Amino acid sequence: AFHWYTGDGFEALREVRRRYPDAMLLPSEATYERYRWRAGATLEDGDWSFGEGYAHDIIGDLNAGSVGWLDWNLLLDQDGGPNHAGNPCDAAIMADLSTSSIYYHPQYYFIAHFSKFILPGSRHVNVTVGPTRTYAGPRRPYGTST
């Protein structure tokens, strides 16, 4: 398992995949701290750039040789916890315990999109595109591509 603390590191991941082709590389502990919220972000809406960041990381990790992708926290409370490290985080789903409300943040919708189209047993297919777009090309277990 590896974490995303120091940037996307896709080239380094490709090198690990090249050196250890049989290793099961699985990114874990992806998250955004709440202090990174853009102006205007709220508990109800979250920050759209966090969802875009998840998509960038998921696609990049899959294209570089990872076998999946794990979030650190799918559900946190309104204070970004519970948290042992003292750094309140954002999550795909936030629960306001004072009002019994649940809020789905942009990360939720990005994770849902990947989960809907990349099924268990899918295999990675290389996709060549121009420099301004990023793609992942999974082939489903029964032969179709997404």
Domain ranges of the chain: 10-139
What is the structure's pLDDT at 103?
96
Cite the DSSP H helix spans in 65-127: 106-117
**Given pLDDT bands bounded at 50, 70 and 90, which one contains residue 6?**
low
Structure pTM? 0.86
Checking DSSP bridges between strand 123-125 and strand 101-104, what pairing results, if any?
Answer: unpaired
**Given pLDDT bands bounded at 50, 70 and 90, which one contains residue 14?**
very high
Task: Reply yes or no: is the peptide bond before residue 82 cis, omega within 30 of 0.
Answer: yes
Q: For residue range 16-68, what is the model confidence (pLDDT) as tens digits?
A: 999 999 999 999 888 888 888 878 778 888 889 999 999 999 999 998 999 99
In terms of Cα–Cα distance, which of 12, 36, 40 is closest to 25? 12
Supply 127's token pair. Answer: 């996709």
What is the structure's pLDDT at 41?
79
Whether 27 and 1 have beta carbons less than 8 Å apart is answered as yes
Sign of CA dihedral 9, 130, 140, 143: negative
110 or 45, which is more confident = 110
Second CATH level (architecture) for the domain 10-139: Alpha-Beta Barrel (3.20)
Average pLDDT, rounded, for the chain? 87
Q: Is 30 helix (H, G, I), strand (E, B) or coil?
A: strand
